[in-house]
Amino acid sequence: MQDYALLAAFIPTFFFVSVTPGMCMTLAMTLGMSIGVRRTLWMMLGELVGVALVALAAVLGVATVMLKHPMIFQGLKYLGGAYLIWLGINMWRAKGKMANLDQPRSIKRTALISQGFVTAIANPKGWAFMISLLPPFINLQQPMAPQLTALIGIIMCTELICMLAYANGGKSLRLFLSRGNNVRLLNRIAGSLMLGVGVWLALG
């Protein structure tokens, strides 16, 4: 039987943490600005899978393995950060037209999924948050499996809602700037955000 009091307390707690600007939310806004909300959904898919795995691993104690093998963790961070930085530089170099990132076939779906997945699992703050936040909302007197299912379901729904909000915000900014023919400014804003997320991911 679920402990509904704990679940009710977890929903607003995680929502306020999730809606706070971070790597995944900034990435959603940047991609929403540059490639549109529909294609950004592929990144969101990868991010949600990554967040679910981080949450599950944090509760089950797999995070201790990551601490024992920090080189693997660092490698993922550097690879993901380097890729985002490369995208940001390409967007900065685009001048009077939309960056190549805007072209429908310039980024494959698998690349977007991988981008979201790596950003989620290589985020040290995400690991720290899951490790510290989830245990207090688990009732050891109740079966573990249904509680984990409910908590991870809440996490994924909340993350999706917040990323959609950020992606639509990026789309609105794109439309606003495009009306004034400020495409170069749009590219540089999106590129700067992408560079920032890449550096954040690599050094955070």
Distance CA 187, CA 91 (A): 5
Asked if pLDDT for residue 61 goes beyond 80, the answer is no
CA 87 to the chain's CA centroid: 16
Report the pLDDT value the prediction gives residue 101, as an integer from 0 to 100: 46
How confident is the model at residue 77, as a pLDDT? Answer: 67
Of residues 112 and 66, more confidently modeled: 112
Mean per-residue pLDDT over the chain, rounded:
76
Distance of alpha carbon 32 from alpha carbon 27, whole angstroms: 8
What is the per-residue pLDDT for 100? 46
pLDDT at 146: 84
Percent over 70 (pLDDT), the chain: 70
pLDDT tens string 149-178: 888 899 999 999 999 999 998 888 777 666
What beta strand segments (E) does 31-177 contain? none
Give the Cα-Cα-Cα angle 184, 77, 126 (nearest 5 degrees).
95
Q: What is the pLDDT of residue 30?
A: 86
- For the chain, the C-alpha Rg in angstroms (whole number) is 18
122 or 17, greater pLDDT: 122
- Ramachandran category for residue 61: left, alpha or beta (phi over 0 → left; psi -120 to 50 → alpha): left
pLDDT in tens, 171-192: 887 776 666 556 666 667 777 7
Note the pLDDT tens digit of each residue in 36-56: 889 899 999 999 999 999 888
| Amino acid symbol at 30 | T
- pLDDT digits over 95-145, tens only? 555 454 444 446 788 989 998 998 898 877 677 777 767 777 777 677 778
At residue 70 the predicted structure's pLDDT band, cuts being 50, 70 and 90, is low
d(CA 29, CA 102): 14
Q: What is the mean pLDDT of residues 82-96?
A: 71
* Residue of 191, 197, 199 whose CA lies nearest to 93: 191
